[in-house]
């Protein structure tokens, strides 16, 4: 069997294929380490499911109020046990990661409180939530002020100015684990733990929320193991394993999660209501598969870094650095480069492969954004995808791939489109 013939049918030239195979020779040990983390995390998830006696009754659908939904209640306990927290809220009524973060923030901040970000500017879609960009129903409109401390030039925490920023009004600190649309390093769980410890020593009563998007199961520990009061994420990213069709989670202390449940539904109702509507099988099965799916996405990110680094592009993280999320940033030097890269990712998709991605004014973003994502679940960024705002330094953010092989194909197809556009010479 000549494997290249299969790649040739996908439009990949011999030069591009051979270039990729040369890069792969360097990655065997890195891939073995990733598989080791996945094995550990698989045990962790399985132990939580066994402990909570998951059975076929958990997959039954509920409707209306959703009272006494055993599957819904148990999936929340499975998340809490996996992430070592007192409680969890895991719901299809949470429509995306930004919604999950908004629920967590608005439930745990009161008028007169101040929100602090010690890691610089938050992800674009949170700017209107906070009120950095004016918006109806923002935290600012409800009397919550905001303060941020930018990272140092080397991407590390500015501890001196963080200490100065914490005051009597500081009620909640938000830490974004992943880089978002900033080509800065992603923080390791250990780094986040050191920051949490530092902040709690200054003001023990402050609540700390970690935006955990893109980071779940990348390491053997999570920020909740280091004292985060809440970790928050989307089920159409890492923990949904590519199967969850919608949803988000908030895991943390009982006090924080109870408030989130009241904000999501209504005071007095909390977690008692919320029908599962037939998604429980995908929630359980996706979470079970998540460690392996994340491992494949990590391999794809490292492969992308090595490919584009060898061709002279700046990549964050670089090809040798440790990985703390599934996102790979590649600075492509021009809008044309971003468009060609995303065109390749779209061509490699199992869904909408014939579509050509173009930049557009996407809700919640200040700049035009280009997105390539031919996914089974709309917007699922654990599936093969690439996106980025059309602005300097023209950085595209690649992530996902339900299998390592699909991630590999996507990266090679992106490279082929760059070659076809005469933006790269091999």
Structural Rg of the chain based on CA atoms: 21
Q: What pLDDT, in 10s, does the model give residues 207-241?
A: 999 999 999 999 999 999 999 999 999 999 999 99
Eight-state DSSP code of residue 151: P
Cα–Cα distances (Å) from 60 to 57, 249, 258, in that order, read 6, 20, 25
- pLDDT at residue 11 in the model: 96
Question: Which whole number is the average pLDDT over 345-369?
Answer: 89
Alpha helices, H only, 311-403: 335-347
- pLDDT at residue 313 in the model: 96
Alpha-carbon distance of 131 to 137, in angstroms, equals 9
Question: In the predicted model, is pLDDT for residue 183 greater than 80?
Answer: no
Q: How confident is the model at residue 266 (pLDDT cuts 50, 70, 90)?
A: very high
Whether the CB-CB separation of 249 and 93 falls below 8 Å is answered with no
Residue ranges of domains in the chain, CATH in brackets: 3-42+287-420 (3.90.1150.60), 61-278 (3.40.640.10)
Q: What pLDDT, in 10s, does the model give residues 12-45?
A: 999 999 999 999 999 999 999 999 999 999 999 9
Question: In the predicted model, is pLDDT for residue 362 greater than 80?
Answer: no
Q: How many CB atoms lie within 10 A of CB 299?
A: 24
Q: What pLDDT, in 10s, does the model give residues 307-347?
A: 999 999 999 999 999 999 999 999 999 999 999 999 999 99
Length of the chain: 426
- Mean pLDDT check: name the lowest of 90-104, 130-144, 166-180, 352-366: 352-366
């Amino acid at each position: 069997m000549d494997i290249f013939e299969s790649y040739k049918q996908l439009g990949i030239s011999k030069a591009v294929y051979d270039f990729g195979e040369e890069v792969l020779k360097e990655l065997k040990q890195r891939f073995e380490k990733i598989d080791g983390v996945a094995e550990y995390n698989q045990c962790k998830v399985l132990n939580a499911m066994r402990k909570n006696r998951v059975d076929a009754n958990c997959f039954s659908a509920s409707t209306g109020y959703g009272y006494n939904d055993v599957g819904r209640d148990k999936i929340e306990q499975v998340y809490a046990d996996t992430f070592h927290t007192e409680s969890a809220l895991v719901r299809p009524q949470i429509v995306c990661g930004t919604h999950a973060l908004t629920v967590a923030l608005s439930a745990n901040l009161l008028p007169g409180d101040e929100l602090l970000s010690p890691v610089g500017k938050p992800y674009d879609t949170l700017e209107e939530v906070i009120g950095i960009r004016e918006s109806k129903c923002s935290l600012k409109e409800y009397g919550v002020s905001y303060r941020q401390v930018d990272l140092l030039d080397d991407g590390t925490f500015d501890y001196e100015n963080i200490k100065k920023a914490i005051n009597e009004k500081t009620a909640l600190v938000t830490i974004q684990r992943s880089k978002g649309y900033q080509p800065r390093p992603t923080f390791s769980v250990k780094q986040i733990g050191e920051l949490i410890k530092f902040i709690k020593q200054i003001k023990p009563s402050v609540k700390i929320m970690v935006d955990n998007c893109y980071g779940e199961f990348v390491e053997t520990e999570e920020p909740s193991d280091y004292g985060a009061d809440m970790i928050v994420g989307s089920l159409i990213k890492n923990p949904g394993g590519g199967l969850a069709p919608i949803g988000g989670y908030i895991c943390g202390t009982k006090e924080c999660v109870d408030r989130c449940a009241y904000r999501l539904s209504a005071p007095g109702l909390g977690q008692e209501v919320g029908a599962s509507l037939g998604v429980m099988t995908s929630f359980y099965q996706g979470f079970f598969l998540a460690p392996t799916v994340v491992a494949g996405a990590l391999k794809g990110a490292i492969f992308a870094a090595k490919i584009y680094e060898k061709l002279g592009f700046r990549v964050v993280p670089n090809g040798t650095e440790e990985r703390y999320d599934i996102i790979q940033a590649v600075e492509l030097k021009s809008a044309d480069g971003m468009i060609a890269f995303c065109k390749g990712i779209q061509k490699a998709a199992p869904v909408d492969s014939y579509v050509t991605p173009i930049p557009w004014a996407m809700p919640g973003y200040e700049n035009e954004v280009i997105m390539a994502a031919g996914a089974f679940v709309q917007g699922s960024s654990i599936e093969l995808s690439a996106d980025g705002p059309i602005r300097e330094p023209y950085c595209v953010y690649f992530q996902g791939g339900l299998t390592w092989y699909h991630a590999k194909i996507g990266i090679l197809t992106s490279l082929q489109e760059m070659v076809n556009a005469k933006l790269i010479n091999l």
